[in-house]
Structure 1
Amino acid sequence: MTSAPTFNPPPPQVDEHVLISFPADNILLVTLNRPTSMNCISTQGHVQLASIWEWYDNTSSLRCAIITGARLPQKRAAFCAGADLKEWDSTAGRARPQAGGGFAGLSTRLGKKPVISAVHGICFGGGLEAAGNTDLVLAHKESLFALPETSRGVVAIAGLLPRLALIVGMQRASELALTGRVLSAQEAQSWGLVNEVVEGDVVERAVEVARKIAGMSPDSVIVSRAALRGAWDGVGVDVAATRVEKGIWKQLQAGPNIQEGLRAFVEKREVKWVDSKL
Protein backbone atom coordinates (compact mmCIF):
# COMPACT_ATOMS: atom_id res chain seq x y z
CA MET A 1 0.00 0.00 0.00
CA THR A 2 1.15 3.55 -0.67
CA SER A 3 1.26 6.05 2.19
CA ALA A 4 -2.08 7.69 2.82
CA PRO A 5 -2.41 10.94 0.88
CA THR A 6 -3.75 14.09 2.48
CA PHE A 7 -7.33 15.06 1.66
CA ASN A 8 -9.37 18.16 2.38
CA PRO A 9 -11.83 17.34 3.79
CA PRO A 10 -10.37 14.13 5.25
CA PRO A 11 -12.13 10.77 4.99
CA PRO A 12 -15.13 10.26 7.27
CA GLN A 13 -14.55 8.87 10.75
CA VAL A 14 -15.32 5.14 10.85
CA ASP A 15 -14.96 2.37 13.41
CA GLU A 16 -12.76 -0.73 13.25
CA HIS A 17 -15.33 -2.58 11.15
CA VAL A 18 -14.63 -0.46 8.07
CA LEU A 19 -11.08 0.10 6.83
CA ILE A 20 -10.06 2.83 4.39
CA SER A 21 -6.79 2.68 2.43
CA PHE A 22 -5.23 3.89 -0.82
CA PRO A 23 -3.46 1.09 -2.72
CA ALA A 24 -2.43 3.32 -5.66
CA ASP A 25 -2.69 6.89 -6.85
CA ASN A 26 -6.29 8.07 -7.32
CA ILE A 27 -7.72 4.78 -5.92
CA LEU A 28 -9.74 4.18 -2.75
CA LEU A 29 -9.99 0.73 -1.13
CA VAL A 30 -12.77 0.07 1.37
CA THR A 31 -12.53 -3.17 3.37
CA LEU A 32 -15.40 -4.64 5.38
CA ASN A 33 -13.64 -5.77 8.55
CA ARG A 34 -15.85 -8.19 10.45
CA PRO A 35 -14.34 -11.47 9.22
CA THR A 36 -15.48 -13.49 12.25
CA SER A 37 -19.06 -12.51 11.30
CA MET A 38 -18.51 -13.07 7.56
CA ASN A 39 -18.39 -9.29 7.13
CA CYS A 40 -22.09 -8.82 7.74
CA ILE A 41 -22.98 -5.15 8.05
CA SER A 42 -24.64 -3.50 11.03
CA THR A 43 -26.95 -0.51 10.89
CA GLN A 44 -24.08 1.78 11.88
CA GLY A 45 -21.92 0.18 9.21
CA HIS A 46 -24.39 1.21 6.50
CA VAL A 47 -24.31 4.79 7.72
CA GLN A 48 -20.51 4.85 7.72
CA LEU A 49 -20.25 3.31 4.25
CA ALA A 50 -22.77 5.75 2.79
CA SER A 51 -20.67 8.63 4.12
CA ILE A 52 -17.54 7.13 2.56
CA TRP A 53 -19.08 6.90 -0.91
CA GLU A 54 -20.37 10.46 -0.68
CA TRP A 55 -16.91 11.65 0.33
CA TYR A 56 -15.35 9.64 -2.50
CA ASP A 57 -17.65 11.22 -5.08
CA ASN A 58 -16.76 14.70 -3.80
CA THR A 59 -12.98 14.13 -3.64
CA SER A 60 -11.73 15.04 -7.09
CA SER A 61 -8.34 13.33 -6.80
CA LEU A 62 -9.99 9.91 -6.35
CA ARG A 63 -11.05 8.32 -9.63
CA CYS A 64 -11.96 4.72 -8.81
CA ALA A 65 -12.92 2.79 -5.67
CA ILE A 66 -12.84 -0.87 -4.64
CA ILE A 67 -14.83 -2.64 -1.95
CA THR A 68 -13.79 -6.00 -0.51
CA GLY A 69 -14.08 -8.09 2.63
CA ALA A 70 -11.37 -8.93 5.17
CA ARG A 71 -10.31 -12.56 5.53
CA LEU A 72 -8.85 -14.62 8.35
CA PRO A 73 -6.33 -17.41 7.67
CA GLN A 74 -7.85 -20.88 7.71
CA LYS A 75 -11.36 -19.45 8.00
CA ARG A 76 -14.13 -19.48 5.43
CA ALA A 77 -13.76 -16.35 3.32
CA ALA A 78 -16.61 -13.89 2.87
CA PHE A 79 -17.02 -10.71 0.87
CA CYS A 80 -20.23 -10.00 2.80
CA ALA A 81 -22.83 -12.44 4.09
CA GLY A 82 -25.49 -9.73 4.22
CA ALA A 83 -27.23 -7.98 7.10
CA ASP A 84 -26.38 -8.50 10.75
CA LEU A 85 -29.33 -10.77 11.49
CA LYS A 86 -28.60 -10.87 15.23
CA GLU A 87 -28.89 -7.09 15.35
CA TRP A 88 -31.99 -7.23 13.15
CA ASP A 89 -33.63 -9.71 15.50
CA SER A 90 -32.74 -7.68 18.59
CA THR A 91 -34.14 -4.45 17.10
CA ALA A 92 -37.26 -5.89 15.44
CA GLY A 93 -40.14 -3.44 15.61
CA ARG A 94 -37.90 -0.47 16.42
CA ALA A 95 -36.86 2.30 14.04
CA ARG A 96 -33.26 2.05 12.86
CA PRO A 97 -31.08 4.77 11.31
CA GLN A 98 -31.43 4.89 7.54
CA ALA A 99 -28.42 5.24 5.27
CA GLY A 100 -28.50 6.70 1.79
CA GLY A 101 -27.56 4.42 -1.07
CA GLY A 102 -29.13 1.29 0.36
CA PHE A 103 -27.20 -1.74 1.62
CA ALA A 104 -23.55 -0.81 2.31
CA GLY A 105 -24.39 2.56 0.77
CA LEU A 106 -24.23 0.81 -2.60
CA SER A 107 -27.33 -1.22 -3.49
CA THR A 108 -29.31 1.83 -4.67
CA ARG A 109 -26.37 4.22 -5.07
CA LEU A 110 -26.37 6.36 -8.17
CA GLY A 111 -23.16 8.17 -7.36
CA LYS A 112 -20.78 9.84 -9.75
CA LYS A 113 -17.69 7.63 -9.91
CA PRO A 114 -17.15 3.88 -10.35
CA VAL A 115 -16.86 1.23 -7.64
CA ILE A 116 -15.40 -2.24 -8.21
CA SER A 117 -16.42 -5.21 -6.04
CA ALA A 118 -13.50 -7.53 -5.25
CA VAL A 119 -15.30 -10.66 -4.03
CA HIS A 120 -13.54 -13.51 -2.25
CA GLY A 121 -15.82 -16.07 -0.67
CA ILE A 122 -19.47 -15.74 0.31
CA CYS A 123 -21.47 -12.97 -1.34
CA PHE A 124 -24.95 -13.53 0.02
CA GLY A 125 -28.06 -11.44 0.60
CA GLY A 126 -27.21 -7.79 1.06
CA GLY A 127 -23.65 -8.52 -0.01
CA LEU A 128 -24.96 -9.54 -3.43
CA GLU A 129 -27.35 -6.57 -3.45
CA ALA A 130 -24.39 -4.23 -2.91
CA ALA A 131 -22.08 -5.94 -5.41
CA GLY A 132 -24.84 -6.19 -8.01
CA ASN A 133 -25.10 -2.41 -8.21
CA THR A 134 -21.36 -1.73 -8.42
CA ASP A 135 -19.82 -1.06 -11.80
CA LEU A 136 -17.63 -4.15 -12.08
CA VAL A 137 -17.51 -7.39 -10.10
CA LEU A 138 -14.33 -9.44 -9.89
CA ALA A 139 -14.62 -12.75 -8.04
CA HIS A 140 -12.13 -15.25 -6.72
CA LYS A 141 -12.80 -18.69 -8.17
CA GLU A 142 -13.98 -20.01 -4.78
CA SER A 143 -16.65 -17.33 -4.34
CA LEU A 144 -20.36 -18.12 -3.98
CA PHE A 145 -23.38 -15.91 -4.73
CA ALA A 146 -26.93 -16.24 -3.40
CA LEU A 147 -30.07 -14.49 -2.17
CA PRO A 148 -31.16 -16.65 0.81
CA GLU A 149 -33.63 -14.12 2.21
CA THR A 150 -36.78 -16.17 1.59
CA SER A 151 -35.39 -18.95 3.80
CA ARG A 152 -35.26 -16.46 6.68
CA GLY A 153 -38.68 -14.92 6.15
CA VAL A 154 -37.26 -11.66 4.83
CA VAL A 155 -36.87 -10.17 1.36
CA ALA A 156 -33.97 -8.83 -0.70
CA ILE A 157 -35.57 -5.41 -0.53
CA ALA A 158 -32.42 -3.24 -0.76
CA GLY A 159 -32.82 -2.56 -4.48
CA LEU A 160 -31.26 -5.47 -6.37
CA LEU A 161 -34.36 -7.44 -7.43
CA PRO A 162 -35.58 -5.19 -10.27
CA ARG A 163 -31.98 -4.65 -11.41
CA LEU A 164 -31.34 -8.39 -11.26
CA ALA A 165 -34.15 -9.05 -13.73
CA LEU A 166 -32.44 -6.65 -16.14
CA ILE A 167 -28.98 -8.14 -15.59
CA VAL A 168 -29.72 -11.87 -15.83
CA GLY A 169 -33.31 -12.07 -17.15
CA MET A 170 -36.58 -12.72 -15.33
CA GLN A 171 -36.33 -16.50 -15.15
CA ARG A 172 -32.81 -16.61 -13.75
CA ALA A 173 -33.58 -13.75 -11.37
CA SER A 174 -36.61 -15.69 -10.16
CA GLU A 175 -34.50 -18.77 -9.58
CA LEU A 176 -32.09 -16.81 -7.40
CA ALA A 177 -34.72 -14.86 -5.46
CA LEU A 178 -37.37 -17.56 -4.99
CA THR A 179 -35.31 -20.73 -4.46
CA GLY A 180 -32.15 -19.37 -2.82
CA ARG A 181 -29.99 -21.09 -5.42
CA VAL A 182 -26.25 -20.72 -4.79
CA LEU A 183 -24.10 -19.81 -7.80
CA SER A 184 -20.40 -20.55 -8.15
CA ALA A 185 -18.16 -17.76 -9.39
CA GLN A 186 -18.05 -19.41 -12.81
CA GLU A 187 -21.84 -19.68 -12.98
CA ALA A 188 -22.22 -16.07 -11.84
CA GLN A 189 -19.89 -15.02 -14.65
CA SER A 190 -21.84 -17.01 -17.23
CA TRP A 191 -25.05 -15.36 -15.99
CA GLY A 192 -23.57 -11.87 -16.33
CA LEU A 193 -23.26 -11.08 -12.60
CA VAL A 194 -19.45 -11.27 -12.60
CA ASN A 195 -17.00 -9.67 -15.02
CA GLU A 196 -13.99 -11.86 -14.30
CA VAL A 197 -13.11 -14.94 -12.25
CA VAL A 198 -9.70 -14.62 -10.59
CA GLU A 199 -7.46 -17.45 -9.39
CA GLY A 200 -5.03 -15.32 -7.40
CA ASP A 201 -5.46 -12.27 -5.17
CA VAL A 202 -8.73 -10.66 -6.26
CA VAL A 203 -7.89 -7.32 -4.63
CA GLU A 204 -4.60 -7.11 -6.53
CA ARG A 205 -6.49 -7.77 -9.75
CA ALA A 206 -9.10 -5.16 -8.82
CA VAL A 207 -6.33 -2.61 -8.27
CA GLU A 208 -5.00 -3.40 -11.76
CA VAL A 209 -8.43 -2.73 -13.25
CA ALA A 210 -8.87 0.39 -11.11
CA ARG A 211 -5.50 1.71 -12.34
CA LYS A 212 -6.74 1.29 -15.90
CA ILE A 213 -9.91 3.24 -15.14
CA ALA A 214 -7.95 5.90 -13.24
CA GLY A 215 -5.70 6.28 -16.29
CA MET A 216 -8.61 7.33 -18.48
CA SER A 217 -10.06 10.83 -18.65
CA PRO A 218 -11.84 11.28 -15.30
CA ASP A 219 -14.44 13.43 -17.06
CA SER A 220 -15.09 10.76 -19.69
CA VAL A 221 -15.44 8.05 -17.05
CA ILE A 222 -18.02 10.09 -15.11
CA VAL A 223 -20.08 10.92 -18.21
CA SER A 224 -19.88 7.38 -19.63
CA ARG A 225 -20.99 5.96 -16.30
CA ALA A 226 -23.91 8.41 -16.14
CA ALA A 227 -25.03 7.29 -19.58
CA LEU A 228 -24.86 3.61 -18.62
CA ARG A 229 -26.71 4.21 -15.36
CA GLY A 230 -29.63 5.65 -17.28
CA ALA A 231 -30.66 2.06 -17.95
CA TRP A 232 -31.81 1.74 -14.32
CA ASP A 233 -34.16 4.73 -14.47
CA GLY A 234 -36.92 3.16 -16.56
CA VAL A 235 -37.24 6.25 -18.75
CA GLY A 236 -36.29 4.59 -22.03
CA VAL A 237 -32.99 4.52 -23.88
CA ASP A 238 -33.58 7.67 -25.94
CA VAL A 239 -34.65 9.76 -22.96
CA ALA A 240 -31.72 8.56 -20.86
CA ALA A 241 -29.22 9.29 -23.65
CA THR A 242 -30.68 12.73 -24.34
CA ARG A 243 -30.57 13.64 -20.66
CA VAL A 244 -26.82 12.95 -20.54
CA GLU A 245 -26.16 14.64 -23.89
CA LYS A 246 -27.93 17.84 -22.84
CA GLY A 247 -26.60 17.75 -19.28
CA ILE A 248 -23.27 16.49 -18.02
CA TRP A 249 -21.85 15.96 -21.55
CA LYS A 250 -21.97 19.73 -22.07
CA GLN A 251 -19.93 20.21 -18.91
CA LEU A 252 -17.31 17.79 -20.23
CA GLN A 253 -17.09 19.74 -23.50
CA ALA A 254 -16.37 22.93 -21.58
CA GLY A 255 -13.67 21.32 -19.44
CA PRO A 256 -9.92 20.92 -19.91
CA ASN A 257 -9.65 17.14 -20.22
CA ILE A 258 -11.33 16.83 -23.61
CA GLN A 259 -8.95 19.45 -24.96
CA GLU A 260 -5.96 17.69 -23.39
CA GLY A 261 -6.98 14.28 -24.74
CA LEU A 262 -7.42 15.53 -28.30
CA ARG A 263 -4.25 17.63 -28.20
CA ALA A 264 -2.17 14.74 -26.86
CA PHE A 265 -3.46 12.55 -29.69
CA VAL A 266 -2.54 15.10 -32.35
CA GLU A 267 0.87 15.76 -30.77
CA LYS A 268 1.53 12.03 -30.27
CA ARG A 269 2.44 12.43 -26.61
CA GLU A 270 1.36 11.04 -23.26
CA VAL A 271 -1.87 12.52 -21.99
CA LYS A 272 -1.91 14.47 -18.71
CA TRP A 273 -5.35 14.53 -17.17
CA VAL A 274 -6.43 16.95 -14.45
CA ASP A 275 -8.82 16.08 -11.64
CA SER A 276 -12.42 16.27 -12.78
CA LYS A 277 -14.55 19.28 -11.95
CA LEU A 278 -17.77 17.51 -12.96
Structure 2
Amino acid sequence: MSSQATKPTFTTTPLPQVADVAISFPTPSILLITLNRPKDLNCINNLGHHQLDALYRWYDNEPSLLCAILTGNGRAFCAGADLKEWNQANQENKARIQPPSGFGGLSRRSGKKPVICAVNGICFGGGCEMIINADIVVADQGAQFGLPEVKIGVVALAGALTRLTRTVGKQRAMEMALTGRTLSADEAREWGIVNRVVQKGTCVEEAIKMAGLIAANSPDSVIVSREGIKMGWEGVGAEEGTRLVMENWYSRMDGGENMKEGVRSFVEKRKPRWVSSKL
Protein backbone atom coordinates (compact mmCIF):
# COMPACT_ATOMS: atom_id res chain seq x y z
CA MET A 1 0.00 0.00 0.00
CA SER A 2 1.36 3.41 -0.86
CA SER A 3 0.34 7.02 -0.43
CA GLN A 4 2.20 10.28 -0.86
CA ALA A 5 2.15 13.83 0.38
CA THR A 6 4.07 14.86 -2.72
CA LYS A 7 4.45 13.25 -6.12
CA PRO A 8 8.11 12.48 -6.74
CA THR A 9 9.19 11.38 -10.17
CA PHE A 10 11.08 8.09 -10.15
CA THR A 11 13.67 7.15 -12.74
CA THR A 12 14.09 3.48 -11.77
CA THR A 13 11.68 0.56 -11.89
CA PRO A 14 8.21 1.01 -10.33
CA LEU A 15 7.85 1.26 -6.57
CA PRO A 16 7.72 -2.29 -5.10
CA GLN A 17 4.46 -3.30 -3.46
CA VAL A 18 4.74 -4.25 0.21
CA ALA A 19 1.82 -5.83 2.06
CA ASP A 20 0.83 -4.32 5.42
CA VAL A 21 3.04 -1.28 4.87
CA ALA A 22 2.08 2.33 4.11
CA ILE A 23 4.55 4.15 1.87
CA SER A 24 4.59 7.93 1.63
CA PHE A 25 6.91 10.78 0.68
CA PRO A 26 6.97 13.73 3.11
CA THR A 27 9.21 15.47 0.58
CA PRO A 28 10.29 14.32 -2.88
CA SER A 29 13.64 13.14 -1.46
CA ILE A 30 12.40 11.34 1.69
CA LEU A 31 10.84 7.87 1.79
CA LEU A 32 8.60 7.16 4.81
CA ILE A 33 7.85 3.47 5.48
CA THR A 34 5.13 2.76 8.04
CA LEU A 35 4.57 -0.80 9.27
CA ASN A 36 0.82 -1.18 9.25
CA ARG A 37 -0.34 -4.22 11.23
CA PRO A 38 -1.36 -2.38 14.40
CA LYS A 39 -3.57 -5.18 15.75
CA ASP A 40 -0.56 -7.52 15.52
CA LEU A 41 1.83 -4.91 16.97
CA ASN A 42 3.40 -4.59 13.51
CA CYS A 43 5.00 -8.04 13.70
CA ILE A 44 6.64 -8.92 10.39
CA ASN A 45 5.98 -12.23 8.63
CA ASN A 46 8.33 -14.05 6.30
CA LEU A 47 6.92 -12.47 3.13
CA GLY A 48 7.31 -9.06 4.73
CA HIS A 49 11.05 -9.54 5.22
CA HIS A 50 11.54 -10.17 1.51
CA GLN A 51 9.21 -7.38 0.37
CA LEU A 52 10.91 -4.84 2.64
CA ASP A 53 14.30 -6.01 1.37
CA ALA A 54 13.11 -5.29 -2.18
CA LEU A 55 11.87 -1.86 -1.09
CA TYR A 56 15.22 -0.88 0.47
CA ARG A 57 17.09 -2.07 -2.63
CA TRP A 58 14.77 0.01 -4.79
CA TYR A 59 15.38 3.00 -2.50
CA ASP A 60 19.16 2.62 -2.83
CA ASN A 61 18.86 2.58 -6.61
CA GLU A 62 16.41 5.49 -6.95
CA PRO A 63 18.48 8.69 -7.43
CA SER A 64 15.73 11.07 -6.31
CA LEU A 65 15.50 9.55 -2.81
CA LEU A 66 18.14 10.59 -0.28
CA CYS A 67 16.93 9.36 3.11
CA ALA A 68 14.44 6.77 4.39
CA ILE A 69 12.45 6.62 7.63
CA LEU A 70 10.91 3.51 9.19
CA THR A 71 8.12 3.74 11.79
CA GLY A 72 5.03 1.87 12.94
CA ASN A 73 1.29 2.52 13.07
CA GLY A 74 -0.42 2.22 16.43
CA ARG A 75 1.15 1.54 19.81
CA ALA A 76 4.06 -0.50 18.46
CA PHE A 77 7.03 0.21 16.23
CA CYS A 78 7.50 -3.52 15.72
CA ALA A 79 7.10 -6.29 18.33
CA GLY A 80 9.23 -8.73 16.33
CA ALA A 81 8.45 -11.84 14.33
CA ASP A 82 4.98 -13.18 13.55
CA LEU A 83 4.99 -15.95 16.17
CA LYS A 84 1.73 -17.46 14.89
CA GLU A 85 3.33 -17.95 11.49
CA TRP A 86 6.49 -19.24 13.17
CA ASN A 87 4.51 -21.78 15.22
CA GLN A 88 2.66 -22.99 12.13
CA ALA A 89 5.94 -23.35 10.24
CA ASN A 90 7.32 -25.43 13.11
CA GLN A 91 4.27 -27.71 13.04
CA GLU A 92 4.58 -28.15 9.28
CA ASN A 93 8.38 -28.44 9.43
CA LYS A 94 8.77 -25.55 6.97
CA ALA A 95 11.93 -23.47 6.73
CA ARG A 96 11.71 -19.72 7.40
CA ILE A 97 14.45 -18.03 5.39
CA GLN A 98 15.14 -14.32 5.69
CA PRO A 99 16.86 -12.30 2.93
CA PRO A 100 20.59 -11.51 3.39
CA SER A 101 19.57 -8.08 4.73
CA GLY A 102 17.89 -9.80 7.66
CA PHE A 103 14.77 -9.04 9.66
CA GLY A 104 12.53 -6.56 7.89
CA GLY A 105 15.23 -6.16 5.25
CA LEU A 106 17.10 -3.96 7.75
CA SER A 107 18.70 -5.84 10.67
CA ARG A 108 21.70 -6.91 8.53
CA ARG A 109 21.36 -4.40 5.73
CA SER A 110 24.49 -2.71 4.45
CA GLY A 111 22.90 -0.59 1.76
CA LYS A 112 24.05 2.67 0.27
CA LYS A 113 21.78 5.32 1.76
CA PRO A 114 20.78 6.12 5.36
CA VAL A 115 17.75 4.80 7.21
CA ILE A 116 16.31 6.57 10.27
CA CYS A 117 14.07 4.61 12.65
CA ALA A 118 11.28 6.63 14.30
CA VAL A 119 10.31 4.41 17.24
CA ASN A 120 6.76 5.22 18.25
CA GLY A 121 6.20 2.50 20.85
CA ILE A 122 6.98 -1.16 21.52
CA CYS A 123 10.27 -2.20 19.91
CA PHE A 124 10.98 -5.82 20.80
CA GLY A 125 12.82 -8.75 19.25
CA GLY A 126 13.30 -8.32 15.52
CA GLY A 127 12.02 -4.75 15.81
CA CYS A 128 14.90 -4.00 18.17
CA GLU A 129 17.31 -5.83 15.86
CA MET A 130 16.28 -3.47 13.06
CA ILE A 131 16.91 -0.30 15.05
CA ILE A 132 20.30 -1.57 16.26
CA ASN A 133 21.44 -1.66 12.62
CA ALA A 134 19.73 1.60 11.61
CA ASP A 135 21.83 4.71 11.02
CA ILE A 136 19.91 7.04 13.34
CA VAL A 137 17.17 6.32 15.91
CA VAL A 138 14.60 8.82 17.21
CA ALA A 139 12.22 7.56 19.89
CA ASP A 140 9.02 8.80 21.44
CA GLN A 141 9.00 9.23 25.20
CA GLY A 142 7.41 6.01 26.43
CA ALA A 143 8.89 3.79 23.70
CA GLN A 144 10.19 0.44 24.98
CA PHE A 145 13.13 -1.61 23.76
CA GLY A 146 14.10 -5.20 24.38
CA LEU A 147 15.44 -8.53 23.14
CA PRO A 148 13.04 -10.94 24.90
CA GLU A 149 14.01 -13.95 22.76
CA VAL A 150 15.51 -15.86 25.72
CA LYS A 151 12.09 -15.79 27.41
CA ILE A 152 10.51 -17.87 24.64
CA GLY A 153 13.42 -20.21 23.95
CA VAL A 154 14.85 -18.59 20.83
CA VAL A 155 17.82 -16.35 20.02
CA ALA A 156 18.22 -12.92 18.41
CA LEU A 157 19.88 -14.30 15.29
CA ALA A 158 19.04 -11.50 12.86
CA GLY A 159 22.31 -9.66 13.47
CA ALA A 160 21.71 -7.78 16.74
CA LEU A 161 23.97 -9.64 19.15
CA THR A 162 27.33 -8.79 17.58
CA ARG A 163 26.21 -5.31 16.56
CA LEU A 164 24.77 -4.54 19.99
CA THR A 165 28.12 -5.37 21.59
CA ARG A 166 29.86 -2.75 19.46
CA THR A 167 27.24 -0.15 20.31
CA VAL A 168 26.77 -0.59 24.07
CA GLY A 169 29.73 -2.75 25.17
CA LYS A 170 29.91 -6.35 26.38
CA GLN A 171 28.35 -5.97 29.83
CA ARG A 172 25.31 -4.00 28.73
CA ALA A 173 24.80 -6.27 25.72
CA MET A 174 24.94 -9.29 28.03
CA GLU A 175 22.39 -7.73 30.37
CA MET A 176 20.01 -6.95 27.54
CA ALA A 177 20.33 -10.31 25.74
CA LEU A 178 20.50 -12.65 28.75
CA THR A 179 17.79 -11.11 30.93
CA GLY A 180 15.43 -10.10 28.13
CA ARG A 181 14.40 -7.11 30.20
CA THR A 182 12.81 -3.97 28.76
CA LEU A 183 14.68 -0.68 28.40
CA SER A 184 12.91 2.67 28.51
CA ALA A 185 13.56 5.23 25.79
CA ASP A 186 15.72 7.27 28.16
CA GLU A 187 17.81 4.25 29.13
CA ALA A 188 18.22 3.26 25.48
CA ARG A 189 19.48 6.78 24.79
CA GLU A 190 21.87 6.59 27.74
CA TRP A 191 23.23 3.31 26.38
CA GLY A 192 23.75 4.75 22.89
CA ILE A 193 21.03 2.78 21.10
CA VAL A 194 18.87 5.88 20.57
CA ASN A 195 20.04 9.28 19.33
CA ARG A 196 17.17 11.38 20.60
CA VAL A 197 14.05 11.01 22.77
CA VAL A 198 11.20 13.35 21.90
CA GLN A 199 7.70 14.13 23.13
CA LYS A 200 5.28 11.25 22.63
CA GLY A 201 3.74 11.30 19.18
CA THR A 202 6.44 13.45 17.56
CA CYS A 203 9.15 10.95 16.59
CA VAL A 204 8.16 10.87 12.91
CA GLU A 205 8.08 14.65 12.74
CA GLU A 206 11.54 14.81 14.32
CA ALA A 207 12.84 12.09 11.99
CA ILE A 208 11.57 14.02 8.96
CA LYS A 209 13.45 17.11 10.17
CA MET A 210 16.63 15.07 10.56
CA ALA A 211 16.13 13.45 7.15
CA GLY A 212 15.75 16.95 5.70
CA LEU A 213 19.12 17.96 7.14
CA ILE A 214 20.70 14.90 5.53
CA ALA A 215 18.94 15.45 2.20
CA ALA A 216 20.22 19.06 2.07
CA ASN A 217 23.81 17.81 1.87
CA SER A 218 25.76 16.44 -1.05
CA PRO A 219 24.36 12.96 -1.78
CA ASP A 220 27.87 11.79 -2.69
CA SER A 221 29.29 13.05 0.61
CA VAL A 222 26.50 11.38 2.60
CA ILE A 223 27.05 8.01 0.91
CA VAL A 224 30.83 8.05 1.34
CA SER A 225 30.74 9.38 4.91
CA ARG A 226 28.24 6.69 5.89
CA GLU A 227 30.44 4.02 4.34
CA GLY A 228 33.48 5.17 6.33
CA ILE A 229 31.60 5.11 9.64
CA LYS A 230 30.06 1.75 8.82
CA MET A 231 33.48 0.24 8.15
CA GLY A 232 34.73 1.33 11.56
CA TRP A 233 31.63 -0.06 13.24
CA GLU A 234 32.03 -3.38 11.44
CA GLY A 235 35.54 -3.77 12.83
CA VAL A 236 37.78 -2.55 10.01
CA GLY A 237 40.93 -0.93 11.44
CA ALA A 238 41.19 2.86 11.34
CA GLU A 239 43.97 3.07 8.77
CA GLU A 240 42.70 0.17 6.67
CA GLY A 241 39.21 1.65 6.66
CA THR A 242 40.54 5.07 5.63
CA ARG A 243 42.50 3.47 2.80
CA LEU A 244 39.45 1.54 1.59
CA VAL A 245 37.23 4.63 1.66
CA MET A 246 39.80 6.65 -0.25
CA GLU A 247 40.45 3.96 -2.86
CA ASN A 248 36.95 2.57 -3.33
CA TRP A 249 34.71 5.56 -2.67
CA TYR A 250 36.44 8.93 -2.48
CA SER A 251 38.29 8.29 -5.73
CA ARG A 252 34.90 7.96 -7.46
CA MET A 253 33.50 11.23 -6.11
CA ASP A 254 36.74 13.24 -6.38
CA GLY A 255 36.37 15.72 -9.20
CA GLY A 256 32.71 14.82 -9.67
CA GLU A 257 30.00 17.40 -10.26
CA ASN A 258 28.85 17.56 -6.64
CA MET A 259 32.34 18.10 -5.29
CA LYS A 260 32.95 20.86 -7.82
CA GLU A 261 29.56 22.41 -7.07
CA GLY A 262 30.16 22.35 -3.32
CA VAL A 263 33.46 24.20 -3.56
CA ARG A 264 32.09 26.60 -6.19
CA SER A 265 28.99 27.44 -4.13
CA PHE A 266 31.12 28.16 -1.06
CA VAL A 267 33.34 30.54 -3.00
CA GLU A 268 30.30 32.20 -4.58
CA LYS A 269 28.52 32.42 -1.19
CA ARG A 270 25.32 30.66 -2.29
CA LYS A 271 23.49 27.43 -1.57
CA PRO A 272 24.78 24.46 -3.56
CA ARG A 273 22.66 22.88 -6.27
CA TRP A 274 23.35 19.18 -5.98
CA VAL A 275 22.80 16.62 -8.74
CA SER A 276 21.83 12.99 -8.26
CA SER A 277 24.64 10.77 -7.04
CA LYS A 278 26.27 8.48 -9.56
CA LEU A 279 28.09 6.40 -6.94
TM-score by length of 2: 0.95
Quote how far apart the aligned CAs of 1:9 are: 1.4
Give the superposition deviation at 1:242: 1.0
- Match in the other structure for 2:40: 37
Residue number among 7, 13, 17 corresponding to 1:9 in the alignment: 13
- Counterpart pick for 2:89 among 83, 88, 91: 91
Mapping of residues 62-73 of structure 1, within 5 Å? 62-71=65-74
The answer to whether the 8 Å contact 1:68/1:203 transfers is yes
1:222-233 equivalences in 2 (<5 Å): 222-233=223-234
Count of aligned positions: 272
Tell me the equivalent position of 2:30: 27
**One-letter code of the match for 1:11?**
L
Distance 2:188 2:208 in 1: 21
Matches within 5 A, 1:1-278: 2-7=5-10, 8-15=12-19, 17-71=20-74, 77-92=75-90, 93-199=93-199, 200-278=201-279
The letter for the 2-side match of 1:9 is T
Gapped runs of 5+ residues in structure 1?
72-76
Q: Which amino acid aligns with 2:23?
A: I
C-alpha separation between the residues in 2 aligned to 1:51 and 1:40? 18
Q: Say if 2:6 and 2:27, in contact at 8 Å, map to a contact too.
A: no
Percentage identity across aligned positions?
A: 55
Please, which moves more after superposition, 43-52 or 237-246?
237-246
CA distance in 1, matches of 2:220, 2:34: 26
- Cα distance in 1 for partners of 2:215, 2:28 equals 8
Deviations, residues 142-170 of structure 1 (Å, cap 9, x unaligned): 10000000000000000011110110010
The offset of 1:97, in angstroms, is 4.2
The one-letter amino acid of 1:251's match is R
1:100 Cα deviation after fit: 2.8
Counterpart residue type for residue 61 of structure 2:
N
Paired residues of 1:47 and 1:100 also in contact (CA < 8 A): no
Contact 1:161/1:173 (<8 A) preserved: yes
Instruction: Write the distance in 1 (CA, Å) between the matches of 2:96 and 2:166.
Output: 30
Distance 1:187 1:114 in 2: 24
Residue pair 2:7, 2:28 contacting (<8 A) in 1 also: no
* 2:268 maps to amino acid: E
State whether residues 6 and 28 of structure 2, in contact with CA within 8 Å, keep that contact through their aligned partners in structure 1. no
The Cα RMSD (Å) is 1.1
Structure 1 residue 271: Cα displacement: 0.9
Q: Any stretches of 5+ residues in structure 2 without a counterpart?
A: none
Distance (Å, rounded) in 2 between the aligned partners of 1:140 and 1:266? 41
Aligned-partner residue type, residue 261 of structure 1 = G
Listed one character per residue, the Cα deviations across residues 188-237 of structure 1 (whole Å, up to 9, x for unaligned) are 00000000001041111110000000000000000000000102433322
SS of alignment partner, residue 163 of structure 2? helix
What SS is found at the alignment partner of 1:29?
Answer: strand
